Structure 1
Amino acid sequence: MNLHELLREREAAGEPIRVGLIGSGRFGTMYLSQARNIPGVRVVGVADINVARARESFERVGWPAEDIVDSVADLAEGKTAVVADAMELIAADLDVIVEATGNPVVGITHALAAIESGKHVMMVTVEADALAGPALARRAKDAGVVYALAYGDQPALIIELVDWARTSGFDVVCAGKGAKYLPGYHQMNPDNVWDHWEFSDELKASGQLNPYMHTSFRDGTKAAIEMAAVANAAQLRPGENGLTFSPGDLEEIATVCRPQAAGGALEHEGTVDVMSSYTREGDWIPHNTQEGVFVVVKATNEYVSSCFTEYPWHPDPSGQYAALYRPYHYVGLELNMSIANAVLRGVATGAATGFYADVVATAKKDLAAGEVLDGEGGFAVYGKLVPAQTSVDKGYLPVALAHHVPLKNAVAQGQSVRWDDVEIDDSLAQALELRRETEALVAGS
């Protein structure tokens, strides 16, 4: 279906898709940079607690200052509101809310409010999806709106590849992505994070980079969160030992991401994984998979296996496994694929269909009773991917709720934190409600 043509029809009819964006960080700014060039779409407003930052984002992408107003109530044709209160934006006359705050607890609050007011939700804050995506997706379905992972981020692109594979008649062996990983990364913290990035010294010292966020990108937390979103949408089950981060180049995807019984790295078929762009010795792998996404499929019969080997598809040595690979993701520049699919086709670019995978807080070092956990990308814990059933059975604490919570019990390095080990703040009531709904879905997964 030609989405662009459908968008042009909306433009011609004077009925553009009305979009509200919450959060004007990198992802949101990238979307704003494209929005004025897309027919049939109108950004009605942007909400950010830092209004000045939001205005800077508009300026950065060349948005005319005269087209920006300070209140949703002041909106007129061609104007866009910038407000501090996300609820003011959610209450406006909109079709879609894009949740891009990066805060999982706040993201759940915004998504629920949008769903309850009959708006589609594009969830950029994948941390919220890993925490309670199955419950959010179910509530959206019951409300007759679309809840979707944001196209442009890797999970939605991976899910698209999974859909291609299954629609083509293949069984999915593994779905995944590439990332930089070395032994010891799980112990990385904001004090040493810049030793593991290739940014210039000037940029590192500029204050533009968030050391906590970039720690989560390298210590395995972000990878686990993204793979949980994929697993829950595509009904894939992670291995008990989490992601392997096995090294390899793009020609070796099908060789690495096949079961151990076949010579690969996986505990079983029908799973998710991440490949490292570095050897275990710390050498950069040429033609690696970093920034890319992939799906590995298995030949359904001998004829298909012969096709794998006759074409330059880089199958594994047995000719039984092959991969489809996309080398890049364009982040917020691609977001309108989610918006257009939701409004024009009623289709989500990825949404949880059950609870198959979880990301649990795991100690980076020996933690003593009384210490306060500092969440994703901090000094205390990283996020480890585990099967949802394992997480529920063992009472593990999701990493998204490991922010500013004190420990009641000591936790040894490498051990996952349990609900019983922490004191949970009553202010998390809404997130906890959605989390309990999510955990209840594990029996039906």
Structure 2
Amino acid sequence: MNLHAKLLQRQAEGRPVRVGLIGAGKFGSMYLAQIPRTPGVHLVGIADLSPSAAQANLARVGWEAQRTQAGSLAEAVKTGATHVADDWRSLVRHPAIDVIVECTGNPVAAVEHCLAAFKEKKHVVNVTVEADAFCGALLAQRAAEAGVVYSLAFGDQPALICDLVDWARTCGFPVVAAGRGHKWLPHFCESTPETVWGHYGLTPEQAKRGGLNPKMFNSFLDGSKPSIESTAVSNATGLAVPSNGLLYPPASVEDIPYVTRPKSEGGVLEKKGMVEVISSLEPDGRKIPYDIRMGVWVTVEAETEYIKNCFEEYNAHTDPSGRYFTLYKRWHLIGLEVGVSVAAVALRGEPTGVAMGWNADVVATAKRDLAPGEMLDGEGGYTVWGKLLPAATSAAMGGLPLGLAHNVKLLRAVKKGQSLSWDDVAMDTSTDAYRTRRAMEAMFAPASSRSG
């Protein structure tokens, strides 16, 4: 609760937290909008494949032109300005930078960026949760070996869920379930970039005006992003995941403590201690009033009669038994909140969520019948969506992680709804991302998947 005070102190001492940003798209732009308003932080440099687009986004969010006139990173450090270029390696290697914010949204590139930053003794806030979903446990280990901190990004839902789980456990509550909300109907998993806006509730004109990427937004809609984020939460908190994918029970905020109970007690959970996503739509498509679509939640249990009575005495909204209570945050502000992670890793040496093991995975699953020779186009595309599975299940089947299902050729036919394996595709095995994933499998694979 004293991060702001620590930032003020760093500002007074003339020792700002020095940050390098890789990727200045929508998420990065939201963080850029807050930096001039945050004490004790200096954005030394931005690396983007299109420096001109990065400059345009800086202007869009209100940066004054003179703030980005630094001719080099060294000049930026001296003057307090920000250097904009396309060279991420120079940014990562610069000795003055304390924290790298990885914000490309490209999981293969993100792994390379993270590993390079660790070698240069830089903390990393990884916004590209797609990368964390398929190899977060090993990224965290590599960071620890380098003596730096690797963290999920506050403002994105996984870190906010981790924060709620940490609150619950620190208070002494057992976590029954935790997760986020989502607008979901079962057929959304078949959605493509051509159909996304109708499902999402926007017109193509509105999407174009906002510069919204249909493939990215389709990854939200088709279940890939909820699965990716649920994987990150499970791996960071140890909470289990459903045995055959997310259930998306429909519920209002008021009904969350009713549905996030074990099946034996009238809920939907296979057991206590799970990740789940709440739908904001009824099965017939009707909108649920006071939904949790854009928010996060945690359900806890009163283990004693005394605690249960306290819930009642302080008007906590519970299930009918009075034992299950849900705390929630109905909104998340995405990139506008990333500064919390930057301050936490730099000033406290603490992540805002980090993978502690490999409990869950997101496996590429066919949206339609796929033929040999077709090219997979990753999350949000036309060919596959991401299905959340226990890591043991994925390891046993040799599941193809969604984050590596980009520009990959299919070797054999796959039926609609079938989850893909390594044997189904021709992988590029030369990337850091592929090698890191395979090393993580070897190091963290659940014991049950190695038997026999």
Identify the match of residue 262 of structure 1 among 257, 265, 269.
265
Which residue matches 1:90? 92
Distance in 2, Cα, partners of 1:373 & 1:332: 29
Deviation at 1:308, TM superposition (A): 2.7
Distance in 1, Cα, partners of 2:196 & 2:62: 33
| Deviations, residues 336-381 of structure 1 (Å, cap 9, x unaligned) | 1111111111111000000011000011111122221111001111
Which residue matches 2:286? 283
1:281 aligned counterpart, secondary structure: coil
Deviates further, 44-53 or 308-317: 308-317
Distance in 2, Cα, partners of 1:5 & 1:94: 21
Is 1:138 aligned with 2:141? Answer: yes
Which residue matches 1:71? 72
Deviation at 1:313, TM superposition (A): 2.3
Which residue matches 1:57? 57
Deviation at 1:203, TM superposition (A): 1.8
Is 1:306 aligned with 2:294? Answer: no
| Deviations, residues 55-94 of structure 1 (Å, cap 9, x unaligned) | 0111112212122134324433121100101111111120
Identify the match of residue 232 of structure 1 among 225, 235, 239.
235
Distance in 2, Cα, partners of 1:225 & 1:202: 28
Identify the match of residue 353 of structure 1 among 338, 352, 356.
356
Distance in 1, Cα, partners of 2:273 & 2:445: 17
Correspondence 1:94-113 to 2 at 5 A: 94-113=97-116
Deviation at 1:316, TM superposition (A): 1.2
Distance in 1, Cα, partners of 2:112 & 2:412: 30
Deviation at 1:206, TM superposition (A): 4.2
Which residue matches 1:404? 407
| Structural RMSD (CA) | 1.4
Correspondence 1:145-156 to 2 at 5 A: 145-156=148-159
Distance in 1, Cα, partners of 2:425 & 2:210: 33
Unaligned runs of 5+ in 2: none
Which residue matches 2:118? 115
Q: Is the CA contact (8 Å cut-off) linking 2:197 and 2:204 kept in structure 1?
A: no
Deviation at 1:197, TM superposition (A): 1.8
Distance in 1, Cα, partners of 2:101 & 2:447: 29
Q: Is the CA contact (8 Å cut-off) linking 2:197 and 2:203 kept in structure 1?
A: no
Distance in 2, Cα, partners of 1:201 & 1:50: 25
Is 1:250 aligned with 2:271? Answer: no
Q: Is the CA contact (8 Å cut-off) linking 2:190 and 2:368 kept in structure 1?
A: yes
After superposition, the Cα gap between the structure-2 partners of 1:376 and 1:56, relative to the gap in structure 1 and judged at 3 Å, is same
1:438 aligned counterpart, secondary structure: helix
Deviation at 1:406, TM superposition (A): 1.2
Which residue matches 1:387? 390
Distance in 2, Cα, partners of 1:300 & 1:234: 20
2:439 aligned counterpart, secondary structure: helix
Deviation at 1:312, TM superposition (A): 2.9
Is 1:378 aligned with 2:381? Answer: yes
Is 1:189 aligned with 2:192? Answer: yes
1:45 aligned counterpart, secondary structure: strand
- TM-score normalized by structure 2? 0.96
Count of aligned residue pairs for this structure pair: 444
| Deviations, residues 97-155 of structure 1 (Å, cap 9, x unaligned) | 00000000000000001011000000000001001110000111111111000011111
Distance in 2, Cα, partners of 1:294 & 1:438: 29
Is 1:28 aligned with 2:28? Answer: yes
Identity, % of aligned pairs?
51
The letter for the 1-side match of 2:73 is V
Deviation at 1:444, TM superposition (A): 7.3
Which residue matches 1:422? 425
Unaligned runs of 5+ in 1: none
The letter for the 1-side match of 2:191 is M
Distance in 1, Cα, partners of 2:209 & 2:347: 42
Which residue matches 1:40? 40
| Deviations, residues 319-338 of structure 1 (Å, cap 9, x unaligned) | 22111111111111111111
Deviation at 1:397, TM superposition (A): 0.4
